Amino acid sequence: MSGYDEAYRRSTRHPEEFWAEAARGIDWDVAPATVLGQDGRWFPDGRLNTCHNALDRHVAAGRGGQLALIHDSPVTGGGRVLSYAELLDEVARTAGMLRDLGVGAGDTVVIYMPMVPEAVIAMLACARLGAVHSVVFGGFAARELAVRVDHARPKVVLSASCGIEPSRVVAYKPLLDAALEQAAHRPERCVILRRPQCPAELTEGRDLDWAATVRDAAPAPCVSVAATDPLYVLYTSGTTGSPKGVLRDNGGHAVALHWSMAHVYGAAPGEVFWAASDVGWVVGHSYIVYAPLLAGCTTVLYEGKPVGTPDPGAYWRVVATYGVRTLFTAPTAIRAIKKEDPSGEFAKKWDLSGLRHLFLAGERLDPDTYHWAADLLGVPVVDHWWQTETGWPIAANCVGIETLPARPGSPTKPVPGWDVHVLDAAGNDCPPGVEGSVTVKLPLPPGALPTLYRDEARFRASYLERHPGHYLTGDGGHFDADGYLYVMGRIDDVINVAGHRLSTGSMEEVLAGHPDVAECAVIGVADEVKGQVPVGFAVLKSGCDRDPEELERELVALVRERIGPVAAFRRAVVVARLPKTRSGKILRGTMRDIADDRPYATPSTIEDPTTLPEIAEAMKRA
């Protein structure tokens, strides 16, 4: 039996034994005597502090001089580095500031900040006190911030005067002021990091200057909390109406993330690990902040973009400059680089020999992008799949256990701990090659959400009731005969064409394989005869000079050739850009609303609202 097969078998057949062993990698104030409680919560009688495990224990072990955090900021032309000892000092004093403002274990703190070291410090300072942090993506509109403030009910808000984009400065303080005017909840204090690029006027009696307030604070020690106590709440992107706050506990989270660094990512203490994401998203929580520090790695905090800061070689510069061993980003970022630099000339300017793996997640990785990145970098490209709710990978090529042969289009096999199934509508396991709903048999492993913040009923209705005994991921997919999982996209991205259920993800895979296409999206559009028909949108690679109508005919022919006439794929249109969230996900739902002439609200997470009228105009041509 292979190393992977043995690990997976142990994790699903003897989960308590498996996770008890993993828990030995964490420092406990009170070691758990019970591994899995009757309610499905992990390590219910254990006590620990997450910040201690991320910082204090490494310093105590004599590794205080190792770099903990590298801040690289091409948008400001600067940055800074912090050793473990320096980061611990700043976190302890920031925790002292929060303690002096009345924040204690169980209190909530909203963090509304850009990609600066103080955002990481704020998260760890909350963890040090046993407080619950809720990071709101920097630059979110005032209404969206107000909704989250009302739901989280923070005692304190930590923010900054501004965030910085490649072409503009985004003033955060006016957004925060407007949000707090709209919100019913009133935080006792706001602490503002004043950046030199944008001054901020402080509201007397409510606002404090970050630098001055931290300077006057005495360091705070770690507070021991129960393993089942909450560490953070993260509201899922695109939330409308009542917020959906994913809750993460302390114990299971620390155990799972520490285990994942060595076994999924193959990362060792002292290595440089870079997750090119944002602290406002789950990837930033898990793999910029907590997991690398729990594992004793050096983590990179990048305040920039894959292109435009200043060129498509930005990522390669960071990798070469800091000796990054593992890079984790989204397929969208690689497609953006490929679009601007299809021949990879900018990568050739940098020494990338230290890079060992490129991990990609956040959306489907099309085979064309997979092959382009693998050929360019000459290292394994690892497609892996997980969600905000799960907190760490569900399926991946676990390079720290055994590197399996890659199959483009598949995130390989389920990660140990995740008992993954593909179920039909009746709840039966689908045979290989047959698509169904991807689920996880309960109990969920450590690190997954135990519930939604202040909404247990919604948690059960959203995730547990469709298939009793299973967690519903909301994604559709299938296994092949060898146990490789293929995730084809959200269940609502399966369209019904004249009674045939077809995956838009399969069609996108075909379009992305065209040599002139940089990125694409396929949506189902209402049709009087067939119910729904697919429409494709394609963005051309930089420098590609093609007649759009000719290319559109080629794309239609390609889908009909690869998938067949049953797809009824007759319309493709070339567009300059696709509408995306700030985290790089394509707004397919909004595109469907536009195509079907339904009213829609511009999502708060959208990167550029001007892309929506462009899609509307393209639909007229289609």
Contact 95, 125 (CB under 8 A): yes
Report percent pLDDT > 70 for the chain.
97
Do the beta carbons of residue 102 and residue 566 sit within 8 Å?
no
Q: What is the pLDDT of residue 492?
A: 64
- Other CB atoms within a 10 A radius of the CB of residue 70 amount to 21
Comma-separated ranges of CATH 3.30.300.30 domains in the chain: 498-621
Residue range 589-603: average pLDDT?
85
Place of tokens 């435009």: 308
pLDDT of 328 higher than 60: yes
Provide the pLDDT for residue 570.
Answer: 86
Of 152-156, 324-328, 338-342, 503-507, the range with the lowest mean pLDDT is 503-507
Task: For CATH 3.40.50.12780, list the domain ranges present in the chain.
Answer: 3-304+384-477
At 239, the pLDDT band (50, 70, 90 cuts) reads very low
Least confidently predicted of 220-229, 413-422, 605-614: 605-614
Sheet holding 230-235, edge to edge: 207-209, 189-193, 156-160, 108-112, 132-135, 230-235, 245-249
CA–CA gap between residue 130 and residue 108 (Å, rounded) = 10
CATH class of 498-621: alpha beta
**Domain 3-304+384-477 bears CATH identifier 3.10.180.10:** no
pLDDT tens across 68-77, in order? Answer: 999 999 999 9
Those residues whose C-beta lies under 8 Å from the C-beta of residue 270, and which sit 6 or more positions away, are 63, 66, 296, 297, 298
Predicted confidence (pLDDT) at residue 333 exceeds the cutoff of 50: yes
Can you read off the two tokens belonging to residue 266? 């193959």
Of the listed ranges 86-90, 422-426, 578-582, the least confidently predicted one is: 578-582
DSSP assignment letter at 385: B
What pLDDT does residue 241 have? 52
Residue 50 confidence class, pLDDT cut points 50, 70, 90: very high
Q: What is the mean pLDDT of residues 204-208?
A: 97
Q: What are phi and psi of 83, to 5 degrees?
A: -75, 170
Q: For all residues of the chain together, what is the average pLDDT?
A: 93
Q: What is the mean pLDDT of residues 472-476?
A: 93
CA atoms within 13 A on the CB side of 550: 4
pLDDT in tens, 504-552: 877 888 899 899 999 999 998 887 666 788 999 999 998 888 898 999 9
DSSP label of 541: P
What's the pLDDT tens digit per position in 379-406? 999 999 999 999 999 999 999 999 999 9
261-316 pLDDT, tens digit per residue, is 999 999 999 999 999 999 998 999 999 999 999 999 999 999 999 999 999 999 99
Task: Place 240 in a pLDDT band, splitting at 50, 70 and 90.
Answer: very low
What pLDDT is stored for residue 1 in this prediction? 57
User: Between the CA of residue 591 and those of 451, 580, 612, 616, what are the distances in Å?
Assistant: 31, 10, 8, 8
Query: Which pTM does this prediction carry?
Result: 0.86
Distances (CA, A) of 13 to 97, 177, 193, 259: 46, 52, 49, 18
Average pLDDT of the residues in 193-206:
94
**CA dihedral for 355, 359, 364, 367, sign (positive or negative):** positive
Residue 603, CA distances (Å) to 180, 204, 364, 583, 607 in order = 20, 33, 21, 13, 9
Residues 419-432: what's their mean pLDDT?
96
* Beta bridge mates, 445: none
How far is C-alpha 399 from the geometric centre of its chain's CA atoms?
20
Whole-number pLDDT of residue 4: 97
How do 494-497 and 500-503 pair as beta strands? antiparallel
| Strand duo 324-329 + 357-360: pairing | parallel
